[in-house]
Amino acid sequence: MKTQICHFSIGQYWLTAVFAALLPLTAAASEQRSGSGIVMVDIPAGSFVMGSCVPPRRLPARMQAETPACSPVDGEAYHTEGPPHQVEVAAFQLAKTPVTLKQFERFIREKRRDDLLTPYFRQYNNRGGDAPVIMVSWGDAQDFIAWLNETDGPGWRLPSEAEWEYACRAGQRQRYCGSDDADAVAWHDGNSAGDQQPVRRKAANAWGLHDMSGNVWEWTQDCWHESHHGAPSTATAWTQACSAPGKVIRGGSWGSPAGFSRASSRRQLVPDSMATEVGFRLARSR
């Protein structure tokens, strides 16, 4: 399979927007450090409204008849975010930060995966061990997860798209993951100085999760669907009847506008792509 090297630009991808989660405010969740040293946050079970209320003018004609009226309308929302729908979420764990270069390099050493140390990997992972690892495909992330399941007990995986948005919102009704101010929680193209930044330098959200908005886009388990029509009512990964071969990425990045870091912003990326603005965050079943 041919590997694709991706450099993000504004014109290539869709901008999506935020719909507020209908959850009560929630205190910070408890944390646990795994045997591998990865800090995991206990995400409580609950329900929320996923997606955005899309302005009718932004709905393709083929979607207008099947899209129910909703409010409040988000003037910036694109059709890929709608319609908003209720999702029930089981308790799970989510990593406090994206996987860092230091953590990924341990996997490379222990599994003798020197094949991953390509010139592009070395060139763009240039911000130190505490920065999110980038230039990793969806398959590379799955290999890392398989290693963790061998060495640190079972249950490691990528989050589903619904789990990701639920954890991002953390019971709040905010534009980004933890604030209405992008600069408070996100590294984006207006403040990043043109590179990924060490994790935990921006404020956490209400559940203690850092860098959910901005810094790097994050792979999820789901395949791409053009909208939330037909989405599951539970937070299981949606992997059937895909609209495209891509996988969903979430959260925005250091190289994208702040608006791409909003809570419901979503894109797709071909799973064998390695991109300068894409990393991943770990989930674990409880």
Q: How many domains in the chain? A: 1
| CATH number assigned to the domain comprising residue 92 | 3.90.1580.10
At 182, list the tokens: 């992008």
Q: What is the pLDDT of residue 15?
A: 29
DSSP-derived secondary structure letter, 217: E
Among residues 234, 281, 210, 261, the alpha carbon closest in space to that of 28 is found at 210
d(CA 144, CA 149): 9
Mind listing the pLDDT tens digit of every residue in the chain (286 residues)?
344 556 544 333 332 223 333 344 456 779 999 988 999 999 999 999 998 876 677 777 777 777 777 777 777 777 887 788 999 999 999 999 999 999 999 999 999 999 999 999 999 999 999 999 999 999 999 999 999 999 999 999 999 999 999 999 999 989 999 999 999 999 999 999 999 999 999 999 999 999 999 999 999 999 999 988 899 999 999 999 998 899 999 999 999 999 999 998 899 999 999 999 999 999 999 8
Q: What is the pLDDT of residue 20?
A: 32
| Residue with the two structure tokens 């894409």 | 278
Q: C-alpha 191: how far from its chain's center?
A: 20
pLDDT tens for each residue of 33-49: 998 899 999 999 999 99
pTM of the model: 0.89
Range of the domain at 131: 4-285
Among residues 263, 285, 225, 276, the alpha carbon closest in space to that of 51 is found at 263
| Residue with the two structure tokens 């999506």 | 16
d(CA 14, CA 77): 10
d(CA 264, CA 262): 6
Collapsing DSSP states into helix, strand and coil, what is residue 160? Answer: coil
Q: What is the pLDDT of residue 27?
A: 62
Instruction: Determine how β-strand 278-280 pairs with β-strand 217-223.
Output: parallel
